[in-house]
A and B are shown apart, each in its own frame.
Chain A
Amino acid sequence: MRYFTTTVDLKDSELDHSIYVQCLQLRREVFISQMGWNLYQHMGCEFDQYDTPASVHVVALQNNAVLGCMRLLRTDNDLGNATYMILDAHLGRIPNLPSGIMDEQIQSQDTWEASRLAISSRVPTSERNAVLVDLLRTGMEYVATRGGTSLLGMMNPVFLRVFRRAGLRAYKFGRIADQRDGRLCVMKLDLEPGAAMVAA
């Protein structure tokens, strides 16, 4: 399966907005149509309070069609009554997400959050790990160019094994929480020292 990964920055004046819209449509399919989560949607798109110009989106593209996407947000983000999704969940501010899920609260320019990961069913099961890891690597490269050193995510704990097999430095960063659709835990991925220089 041939595809490439890139970032979509809403502040980019030459941004192809159709790619961003496809990300939001894919998210609607996964989180609302498939999972039945009670999230806000409008015009076939799912978006929330964290989809601001401060967020950056990593996409996997095949012939200009989005195969997968993931949202990045710096953890010192301040949206008035919200910070970033994992911390807000940790603090009990997000219904249907478990609270008390982080080993420690992080709000730092060095750490970014990856959230709203969605992958199209067009990606065969056998290639989903590769698409996911490519999205993460591209996200980590972007974070490195912005001076970041680590990435937080919230996923099923089996992904720790996937990331470690792929050579990423991933570890559990909180308790495993049982919730409606299975188990979740916060994980932290540390960027390789010098990753910023490589990415730059």
Chain B
Amino acid sequence: MKHPIQEKFNKYGFVILAPGQVPSDAITTFSDEWKEVYFRNEFHKIDPVFEFAVRSTRNSNCTLLSEAQMTNELFEEARMFEADSNFVSVSHYGGNTMVFGGVNPELDPRATASIQHACQATHRIELLKNLDLLTDTQIDLMEMAEEGFLDKEIASEFGISLSAIAQRKQAICKAVGTDCFKSTLRLYTLQKWGGLVGEYT
């Protein structure tokens, strides 16, 4: 599926982090060589992109890096790989975080809000892919939850205990990369009914 941010940057990369996860891989248009160098040297520990993410743990946010922030050894090396990101975005969804860095030296600061919107859409698209991993039983549980069944009703239908339902919900969240079942259900509904439901009065 195409990323909504694709055409806005010369090159970009992002890391999707499930709750408690540390950066170890990225989805990126930067070269494989840069990706390998970046994670081998744990550059995320000194990268202003991740420093911004650490400061934005509660809210989704974005910024353009200043020239001062981009003058250090990391950026000198990054420039050789055309990976000197000047735009940073952090997106949060249901406990999952996406940290994004993109290269576009011509970027108009007034456009950052719309690009942040595209980053958040990209984040959701990546999480939606994880829904394809759900088993038939997990889909049945999502279906009952979507129809508004209470946990005790779902438990009765499945013939299992309430705590087993809680465990199954947790397993679904883990598969999708979130820690909030309601958020996961919203994603599921978005994917399932996308293309079938429209605003109409």
On chain A, the residues within 8 Å of B140 by CB distance are: 161, 165
Do the beta carbons of B195 and A29 come within 8 Å of each other? no
B26 at interface by CB-CB < 8 Å: no
B159 at interface by CB-CB < 8 Å: no
On chain A, the residues within 8 Å of B139 by CB distance are: 158, 161
Cα distance, A161 to B128, chains bound together (Å): 18
Give the A interface residue count (CB, 8 A). Answer: 31
A183 at interface by CB-CB < 8 Å: yes
On chain B, the residues within 8 Å of A158 by CB distance are: 139, 142-143, 192
On chain B, the residues within 8 Å of A29 by CB distance are: 198-200
B189 at interface by CB-CB < 8 Å: yes
Interface of A is mostly: helix
A152 at interface by CB-CB < 8 Å: no
A162 with B2, Cβ < 8 A, contacts A29-B198, A30-B195, A182-B195 known: no
On chain A, the residues within 8 Å of B136 by CB distance are: 161
Do the beta carbons of A119 and B196 come within 8 Å of each other? yes
B191 at interface by CB-CB < 8 Å: yes
B20 at interface by CB-CB < 8 Å: no
On chain B, the residues within 8 Å of A181 by CB distance are: 1, 194-195
Nearest B residue to A65 via CB reads B201
Given contacts A120-B200, A121-B198, A183-B132, 13 further A-B contacts (CB under 8 A): A26-B198, A34-B195, A34-B198, A118-B196, A118-B197, A119-B196, A119-B197, A123-B197, A158-B192, A161-B140, A181-B1, A181-B194, A181-B195
